Amino acid sequence: MALTNFILTVAGVTAVVLLLRSDVKQSATIFRRNVRHIRNWLEEESASAAKEMEKAKRRYLEGYPKGGQALDLFHAQATAHG
């Protein structure tokens, strides 16, 4: 009887370990896939942000007065107030 209980316990523990092992492998695979997707999204957003910064910089530079002089709003306000 004790030997039968021992064998059943070992079989049960082995089955649980095998199920958990496959579950862990599957979870790790899903996690890696999700990380890959997130990395791709971040790279796409980073590239998009860089393009937008270039566009904004061009628009900002095009707004400068002729002769290449930059508008210095802080300096203009400081001299106006004293």
User: In which residue are the tokens 């039968």 written?
Assistant: 4
pLDDT given for residue 80 in this prediction: 58
Contact status, residue 10 vs residue 16, Cβ threshold 8 Å = no
Sign of CA dihedral 49, 51, 34, 29: negative
Give the position of tokens 């707004």.
63
pLDDT along the chain (82 residues), means of 10: 92 92 91 96 92 86 62 56 54
Tokens encoding 42: 């971040």
Question: What integer pLDDT is reported at residue 79 of this predicted model?
Answer: 58
